Amino acid sequence: MKKTLAFALIIFIICIMTAGCVQSKLSQNQTPQVTQTPVPVLFNGRLNVSIGSYDATMPVFVDNVSVGDVSRGKPLSFSVKEGRHSVKVCSGPACEQVDVEIKSAIDTTIDFENRFLKNIPQGSLNVSIGDYTGKVAIFINDTQVGEVFPGKSFTTNVKEGLHTVRASFGNVSVEQEVAIKTGKQTDVDFGDQLTNATPTGSLTVSIGGYNANNLPVYVDNRSVGEVSQNKPFSLMLNEGSHDVRICVAQICENETVDIRFAKKTVALFQDRLKQDREFTKPTVRIVDFILNGNTYILNMEYINPTINDTTITATIGCAYSYIDYSNKARKNTFAQTQQKMLIKAGTRETHALGIDLSAGSNVIASDPSLVDVSIT
């Protein structure tokens, strides 16, 4: 009985050891398999957000994350992961939101114009400055929206409600509160307010003894009056820098003046006009000439200060004497020639011209001169 138990125990131990060796061998010879979970691949589509003609600049949010701004006539385009997203555009505290399904490699467009026009209606605001002279900046609720020039108003759309409109020129600012109503135009003229709030100085424009009458005077591109020979033109301007222009036909002289409060400023154009604008009508003149053998070589200058292309026909001649080839007697004669030129508006051109003095030899010639000028 004891021998049987001892034999069974030995067999059991051998089985355990054998199983362990087999397991160890299997562990050394086999590589365990690892199972990987596939990662989904995400693709992008493109989203275009616009507000049409709605006049505003507003932030755009995708899934409550800011992605940029959109404004009238300037859509916002950007890449978005495919899937479902919420798109929101806000005007102040008021927002419009839509859900959109983005698909890979496909453009999706959302226009919020009708939503804003329906839920945040607008009216038209027209701002002018009357006879005030200057380039005036316009602000709505402390945001600059444009500029106003003399004789040219500024118009924009503004959401319905009460707004503060401000006009600023240099250090001068005036403002008004305006009520915008849907579908209606509200007009604001800051002319009187700006004039009363702006310090002024005087400007005198003169052409001295320059021979011309009723030349138009422009200040900041606005016609303000006329100036004539020995008759200056004066006016009051708001303090600051201004552009002054005087024109002879379409050709103009410009000067920038700095107006100071209660000070007199003079813009004198006499010397520049005499130098640059000697002629007020189409004309032609002989610039220089030289006698080369029996030929006069001339340089002719054609001047057209008008606003229209003009044809100028010049007849030039000179008297001269010569020795006759046949009887060797000195005789007198007159030679002339004609030149016809089309001169563009507001231009000056120089052209060469020759006069033939070939009646004989030993030519003695007077200076050439203009015999006739025709303007057509």
Given this model, what pLDDT does residue 28 score? 47
pLDDT at position 63 is: 94
Position 23 scores a pLDDT of 45
Q: Considering the chain, what percentage of its residues have pLDDT values greater than 90?
A: 51
Query: What is the model's pLDDT at position 342?
Result: 95
C-alpha of 255 from chain center:
22
CATH architecture of 200-276: Sandwich (2.60)
259 in Cβ contact with 169 (< 8 Å): no
Closest CA to 174 of 125, 137, 220: 137
* Number of other residues whose CB lies within 10 A of the CB of residue 21: 10
CATH number of 122-197: 2.60.40.10
> Is the Cβ–Cβ distance between 82 and 115 less than 8 Å?
no
Q: What is the pLDDT of residues 156-195, one digit of tens each?
A: 888 888 999 999 987 889 999 999 988 789 999 999 999 8
Closest to 136 (Cα-Cα) out of 154, 162, 155 = 154
Strand 76-81's sheet: what is its strand order?
Answer: 76-81, 44-50, 107-111
Residue found under tokens 């402390």: 142
Amino acid identity of residue 356, one-letter, is: D
- Write the pLDDT tens digit of every residue in 335-366: 999 999 999 988 889 999 999 998 888 899 99
Fold assignment, 44-119: Immunoglobulin-like (2.60.40)
If one counts every other C-beta atom within 10 angstroms of the C-beta of residue 133, the result is: 26
Q: What is the average pLDDT value for the chain, to the nearest integer?
A: 85
DSSP letter string over 78-107?
Answer: EEEESEEEEEEEEETTEEEEEEEEE-TT-E
Whether the pLDDT of residue 54 is over 80: the answer is yes
Provide the 10 A C-beta neighbour count for residue 239. 20
Residues of the chain with CATH 2.60.40.10: 122-197
CA distances to 125, 223, 265, 308, 313 from 247, in Å: 36, 11, 20, 15, 26
Query: Using CA atoms, how far apart are residues 49 and 69, in angstroms rounded to an integer?
Result: 9
Q: Which residue, among 159, 167, 48, 67, has the nearest Cα to 112 in the 3D structure?
A: 48
Average pLDDT over residues 273-282: 76
What is the number of other CB atoms lying within 10 angstroms of the CB of residue 160? 15
Least confident of 116-120, 280-284, 298-302: 116-120
Residue 2 scores a pLDDT above 50: no
Q: Which residue has the tokens 């709030």?
A: 197
pLDDT at 33 over 60: no
**Residue 37 predicted with pLDDT over 60:** no
pLDDT of residue 10: 58
pLDDT at 286 over 80: yes
What is the tens place of the pLDDT at every residue in 56-103? 788 999 999 999 999 888 999 999 999 999 999 997 778 899 999 999
CATH C-level class of 283-375: mainly beta
Burial pattern 145-155, b for ≥16 Cβ within 10 A else e, equals: beebbbeebbe
Token pair of 369, please? Answer: 């001169």
- For the chain, give every residue range classified as CATH 2.60.40.1120: 200-276
Q: How confident is the model at residue 13 (pLDDT cuts 50, 70, 90)?
A: low
